[in-house]
Protein backbone atom coordinates (compact mmCIF):
# COMPACT_ATOMS: atom_id res chain seq x y z
CA UNK A 1 0.00 0.00 0.00
CA UNK A 2 1.12 3.45 -0.91
CA UNK A 3 0.47 6.62 1.03
CA UNK A 4 1.06 10.27 0.23
CA UNK A 5 3.21 12.58 2.38
CA UNK A 6 0.54 13.30 4.91
CA UNK A 7 -0.69 9.74 5.06
CA UNK A 8 -4.28 10.94 4.75
CA UNK A 9 -5.20 9.21 1.46
CA UNK A 10 -5.10 5.57 0.71
CA UNK A 11 -4.01 4.44 -2.83
CA UNK A 12 -4.74 0.75 -3.26
CA UNK A 13 -2.61 -1.15 -5.76
CA UNK A 14 -5.75 -2.42 -7.58
CA UNK A 15 -6.72 1.14 -8.53
CA UNK A 16 -3.26 1.73 -10.01
CA UNK A 17 -3.45 -1.52 -12.04
CA UNK A 18 -6.92 -0.59 -13.32
CA UNK A 19 -5.73 2.76 -14.68
CA UNK A 20 -2.63 1.19 -16.20
CA UNK A 21 -4.72 -1.47 -17.97
CA UNK A 22 -7.22 1.18 -19.03
CA UNK A 23 -4.42 3.30 -20.57
CA UNK A 24 -3.01 0.35 -22.53
CA UNK A 25 -6.44 -0.58 -23.92
CA UNK A 26 -7.14 3.05 -24.80
CA UNK A 27 -3.80 3.32 -26.64
CA UNK A 28 -4.49 0.16 -28.70
CA UNK A 29 -7.99 1.39 -29.51
CA UNK A 30 -6.64 4.76 -30.69
CA UNK A 31 -4.00 3.06 -32.86
CA UNK A 32 -6.63 0.74 -34.40
CA UNK A 33 -8.90 3.73 -35.10
CA UNK A 34 -6.12 5.68 -36.83
CA UNK A 35 -5.19 2.65 -38.97
CA UNK A 36 -8.83 2.16 -39.98
CA UNK A 37 -9.28 5.82 -40.95
CA UNK A 38 -6.09 5.97 -43.02
CA UNK A 39 -6.81 2.71 -44.83
CA UNK A 40 -10.36 3.75 -45.76
CA UNK A 41 -9.09 7.12 -47.01
CA UNK A 42 -6.82 5.46 -49.59
CA UNK A 43 -9.78 4.44 -51.73
CA UNK A 44 -11.41 7.87 -51.58
CA UNK A 45 -8.43 9.97 -52.66
CA UNK A 46 -7.39 8.95 -56.16
CA UNK A 47 -4.61 11.05 -57.60
CA UNK A 48 -4.71 10.88 -61.36
CA UNK A 49 -1.73 11.02 -63.66
CA UNK A 50 -1.77 13.73 -66.35
CA UNK A 51 -4.17 16.05 -64.54
CA UNK A 52 -4.04 18.62 -67.34
CA UNK A 53 -5.43 16.21 -69.93
CA UNK A 54 -7.95 14.84 -67.42
CA UNK A 55 -9.40 18.29 -66.72
CA UNK A 56 -9.47 19.17 -70.42
CA UNK A 57 -11.39 15.94 -71.07
CA UNK A 58 -13.80 16.74 -68.23
CA UNK A 59 -14.40 20.10 -69.85
CA UNK A 60 -16.03 18.38 -72.85
CA UNK A 61 -18.70 16.90 -70.57
CA UNK A 62 -19.33 19.88 -68.29
CA UNK A 63 -18.84 23.14 -70.18
CA UNK A 64 -21.63 24.74 -72.16
CA UNK A 65 -18.91 26.19 -74.42
CA UNK A 66 -18.07 22.65 -75.56
CA UNK A 67 -20.67 19.98 -76.30
CA UNK A 68 -23.02 20.16 -73.33
CA UNK A 69 -26.68 20.71 -74.14
CA UNK A 70 -27.82 24.23 -73.22
CA UNK A 71 -31.52 25.09 -72.93
CA UNK A 72 -31.86 28.77 -73.94
CA UNK A 73 -35.44 29.05 -72.62
CA UNK A 74 -34.47 28.45 -69.01
CA UNK A 75 -30.78 29.36 -69.51
CA UNK A 76 -29.43 26.13 -68.04
CA UNK A 77 -26.67 23.76 -69.16
CA UNK A 78 -27.00 20.01 -68.59
CA UNK A 79 -23.60 18.42 -67.85
CA UNK A 80 -23.32 14.89 -69.20
CA UNK A 81 -25.83 15.52 -72.00
CA UNK A 82 -24.13 16.00 -75.37
CA UNK A 83 -25.83 18.19 -77.96
CA UNK A 84 -25.45 16.37 -81.27
CA UNK A 85 -25.60 19.64 -83.22
CA UNK A 86 -22.62 21.04 -81.27
CA UNK A 87 -20.48 17.92 -81.81
CA UNK A 88 -18.26 19.27 -84.63
CA UNK A 89 -14.55 19.85 -85.30
CA UNK A 90 -15.07 23.62 -85.20
CA UNK A 91 -16.79 23.46 -81.80
CA UNK A 92 -14.00 21.23 -80.45
CA UNK A 93 -11.33 23.71 -81.56
CA UNK A 94 -13.32 26.62 -80.05
CA UNK A 95 -13.73 24.68 -76.83
CA UNK A 96 -9.99 24.10 -76.42
CA UNK A 97 -9.17 27.74 -77.29
CA UNK A 98 -6.22 28.19 -79.63
CA UNK A 99 -4.32 24.93 -79.51
CA UNK A 100 -0.90 25.15 -81.14
CA UNK A 101 1.10 22.32 -82.68
CA UNK A 102 3.00 21.77 -79.41
CA UNK A 103 -0.07 21.31 -77.22
CA UNK A 104 -2.36 18.39 -76.51
CA UNK A 105 -4.52 17.14 -79.35
CA UNK A 106 -7.79 15.23 -79.05
CA UNK A 107 -9.86 12.83 -81.12
CA UNK A 108 -13.33 12.18 -79.75
CA UNK A 109 -15.72 9.50 -80.90
CA UNK A 110 -19.42 9.62 -80.10
CA UNK A 111 -21.30 6.35 -80.51
CA UNK A 112 -24.69 4.96 -79.58
CA UNK A 113 -26.48 1.65 -79.74
CA UNK A 114 -29.56 3.54 -80.97
CA UNK A 115 -29.92 4.01 -84.72
CA UNK A 116 -28.97 7.68 -85.01
CA UNK A 117 -27.99 8.90 -88.44
CA UNK A 118 -24.32 9.89 -88.56
CA UNK A 119 -23.20 7.89 -85.52
CA UNK A 120 -20.57 6.83 -84.70
CA UNK A 121 -19.07 10.24 -85.35
CA UNK A 122 -15.40 11.10 -84.85
CA UNK A 123 -14.09 14.64 -84.50
CA UNK A 124 -10.54 15.87 -83.86
CA UNK A 125 -8.59 19.01 -83.12
CA UNK A 126 -6.71 20.73 -85.93
CA UNK A 127 -3.35 19.53 -84.59
CA UNK A 128 -4.27 15.81 -84.54
CA UNK A 129 -1.63 13.82 -86.43
CA UNK A 130 -2.95 10.63 -88.05
CA UNK A 131 0.62 9.32 -88.44
CA UNK A 132 1.36 9.35 -84.70
CA UNK A 133 0.10 6.73 -82.26
CA UNK A 134 -2.53 7.49 -79.63
CA UNK A 135 -0.72 8.18 -76.36
CA UNK A 136 -3.71 7.91 -74.05
CA UNK A 137 -7.23 6.58 -74.44
CA UNK A 138 -9.78 7.34 -71.75
CA UNK A 139 -12.36 4.74 -70.80
CA UNK A 140 -15.58 5.28 -72.78
CA UNK A 141 -17.86 7.55 -70.79
CA UNK A 142 -21.59 7.02 -70.65
CA UNK A 143 -23.43 10.10 -71.87
CA UNK A 144 -26.86 11.12 -73.04
CA UNK A 145 -27.11 12.42 -76.60
CA UNK A 146 -29.66 15.13 -77.38
CA UNK A 147 -30.71 14.86 -81.04
CA UNK A 148 -33.95 16.01 -82.70
CA UNK A 149 -35.61 16.74 -79.34
CA UNK A 150 -34.94 13.18 -78.12
CA UNK A 151 -32.45 11.70 -75.70
CA UNK A 152 -30.38 8.62 -76.53
CA UNK A 153 -27.85 6.64 -74.50
CA UNK A 154 -24.35 6.81 -75.89
CA UNK A 155 -20.64 6.49 -75.27
CA UNK A 156 -17.93 9.10 -75.71
CA UNK A 157 -14.33 7.94 -76.21
CA UNK A 158 -11.51 10.48 -75.86
CA UNK A 159 -8.07 9.82 -77.37
CA UNK A 160 -5.10 12.08 -76.66
CA UNK A 161 -1.78 12.85 -78.36
CA UNK A 162 1.13 15.14 -77.40
CA UNK A 163 1.06 14.38 -73.70
CA UNK A 164 4.02 15.73 -71.77
- Residue 9 confidence (pLDDT): 58
Residue 5 phi, psi (nearest 5) = -60, -40
The whole-number pLDDT of residue 5 equals 57
| Region of 148 on the Ramachandran plot (φ > 0 left; ψ -120 to 50 alpha; else beta) | left
* Tens digits of pLDDT across the chain (164 residues): 455 555 555 656 677 788 888 899 999 999 999 988 877 666 666 666 667 767 777 888 888 888 899 888 998 988 889 999 989 988 888 887 755 556 778 899 999 888 778 788 899 888 888 888 888 788 888 899 998 888 999 999 988 887 65
Q: What pLDDT, on the 0 to 100 scale, is given for residue 118?
A: 78
What's the pLDDT score for residue 7? 53
Look up the pTM and report it: 0.64
- Identify the pLDDT of residue 11: 57
CA geometry: angle 154, 158, 144, nearest 5 deg: 20
- Please tell me the predicted confidence (pLDDT) of residue 23: 92
The pLDDT value given to residue 37: 81
Q: What is the pLDDT of residue 13?
A: 61
Three-state SS string over 75-138 comes to: CEEEEEEEEHHHCCHHHHHHHHCCCCCCCCEEEEEEECCCCCCCCCEEEECCCCCCCCCCCEEC
Amino acid sequence: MLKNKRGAEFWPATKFLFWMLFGVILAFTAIAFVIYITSSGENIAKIRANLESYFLAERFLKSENCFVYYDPEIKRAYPGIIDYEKFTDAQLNNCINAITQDEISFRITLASSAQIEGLPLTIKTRNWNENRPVESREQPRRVLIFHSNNYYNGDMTIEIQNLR
